[in-house]
Amino acid sequence: MTRELMAAWLEQLGAPRPVTQGALTLPLRHTATWVAEKFSLNGRLTQLFIRLFFREVAAYLRTDDSPARLAAREEVAMRIARHRPRVVIAHSLGTVIAYEALHAHPELRVELFLSLGSPLALPRAVFDRLLPRPVGDPPARLGARPDGVARWVNIADPGDPVAIPPHLARSFTGIALDLTDSVHATFGFHHAKNYLSCAATAATLGPYLGL
């Protein structure tokens, strides 16, 4: 499953057919080399990142009712219920888990859901595996803001190959703002700390922090 997810991801990145097919059969370095060259990244670090990221995505999305998926979702819901935050900030695969947790528990009320570097809209690999499933007929299928979320803002770095496609509002209803901001230097294209310190995040969180 990991290699199938990688192939779907490479297709969205615009990789040539031999590279996309190679994700299913060739060593990981074949894929990592193409991604590193496209985004001017360090090849070794890119290979390590891809291996870890897609292993985690595959483990979470393998089946709808896997114990790991349920446990992760319920852990997030439990912490939101316990601490009752005004704002929920999620990054990367965490946006998928938070999205599903908030949908599974509509009684949880959140003023702002801030998704950073999210792969939620990645066709086949993530989007079509979400719970609840997006509704409608392809290519017009849509996900939706969880009922308990008052406002959803998404931020993606246009150079982040994980946040593909970057504009979630094309695939989900109820997104108030769909922002892009450059957050990276060298290999930091997807680091949570860079997303948290970017101008778009500061402007989004300011009203909730009394700034």
**Helices 2-13 and 28-39: angle between axes, nearest 10 degrees:** 30
Q: Where do we find the tokens 């779907």?
A: 8
First to last CA, the chain: 45
pLDDT in the model for residue 92: 93
Mapping DSSP onto H, E and C, the string for the chain reads CHHHHHHHHHHHHCCCHHHHHHHHHCCHHHHHHHHHHHHCCCHHHHHHHHHHHHHHHHHHHCCCCCHHHHHHHHHHHHHHHHHCCCEEEEECHHHHHHHHHHHHCCCCCECEEEEECCCCCCCCCCHHHCCCCCECCCCCCEEECCCCECCEEEEECCCCCCCCCCCHHHCEECEEEEEECCCCCCCHHHCHHHHHCCHHHHHHHHHHCCC
Question: Per-block average pLDDT, block size 10, for the chain (211 residues)?
Answer: 77 76 67 72 71 86 94 97 97 96 97 96 91 88 97 91 87 95 65 89 91 59
Residue 163 CA to residue 122 CA, distance in Å, equals: 8
Q: How many CB atoms lie within 10 A of CB 25?
A: 9
Residue 181 CA to residue 85 CA, distance in Å, equals: 25
Q: Which of 90, 202, 187, 109 is nearest to 148 (CA)?
A: 109
